[in-house]
Structures are given as C-alpha cells and as structure tokens.
C-alpha cells in the first residue's frame, strides 16, 4: 500500500516559515500548533524559502511539462551505425550457431 503525502497550502507554508524566522518559534512547536506531519517539513520549507523565496514554497509535483520530460528518447542511428550494429548481430548469431546454442 502506498503512503499518500499530505499537501499543505502556500499560506500554511508561509505561516510556518514566518513563525520560524521572524517569531523565533521552534519547529516542534510549529508542528504542534499547525498540526503538520513532522518538524523536518518546516525545516525544509525554511531552507527552500531562504534559497528561492516564496516561489520555492509553491507546489511543484506534476507541474513539469518540458521537452525532456520522462525517459530520454533514443537518437536515430545513422545508416553507417545501423549497418555496423546489424553486422555485429549477424556475427553473434553465427557464433551461436557454431557452438550449437541456436
């Protein structure tokens, strides 16, 4: 069974970061007060906020739609490369025939 990750609103994240940075409240207290899953989440939000500002707290899951999404596509072989590959396959099959594996 897969564990579903809880998603928090941008407002909740900002409130937690503000409490930590401006008010000096500890992450354990913030977790209890805002009923978050764990204190590491608060520390992660603070780190992202320091690095990227408010943009770093926005939800990123499922948003990437770039050309390089997913596994890389294979480049098409040139005729010479394809010919070389086929020759190697033929040689391999010939050797298998010789030793009786095919």
Domain assignment of residue 15, yes or no? yes
Q: By three-state DSSP, how is residue 45 classified?
A: helix
Residue 67 belongs to a domain? no
Q: What SS3 state is found at 57?
A: helix
| Inside any domain, residue 70 | no
**Is 69 among the domain residues?**
no
The pLDDT, as a whole number, for residue 30 is 93
For residue 24, being part of any structural domain is answered with yes
Which pLDDT score, from 0 to 100, does residue 62 have?
67
Domain total of the chain: 1
Q: Can you give the residue range of the structural domain that contains 88?
A: 10-61+77-99
Tens of pLDDT along the chain (102 residues) come to: 556 678 889 999 999 999 999 999 998 999 999 999 888 999 999 999 999 999 888 887 766 666 556 666 677 888 999 999 999 999 999 999 988 866
Asked, for residue 83, whether it belongs to a domain, the answer is: yes
Say if 72 falls within a structural domain: no
Please tell me the pTM assigned to this model: 0.57
Task: Compute how many other C-beta atoms are within 10 angstroms of the C-beta atom of residue 56.
Answer: 17
CA distances (Å), 36 to each of 30, 53, 76, 88, in order? 8, 21, 49, 59
């Amino acid at each position: 069974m897969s564990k579903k990750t809880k998603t928090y609103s941008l407002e909740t994240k900002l409130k937690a970061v503000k409490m930590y940075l401006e008010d000096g409240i500890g992450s354990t207290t913030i977790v209890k007060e805002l009923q978050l899953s764990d204190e590491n989440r608060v520390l992660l939000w603070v780190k992202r906020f320091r690095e990227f500002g408010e943009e770093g707290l926005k939800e990123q899951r499922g948003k990437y739609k770039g050309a390089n999404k997913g596994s890389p596509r294979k480049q098409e072989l040139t005729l010479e490369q394809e010919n070389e590959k086929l020759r190697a396959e033929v040689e391999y099959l010939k050797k298998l025939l010789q030793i009786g594996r095919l």
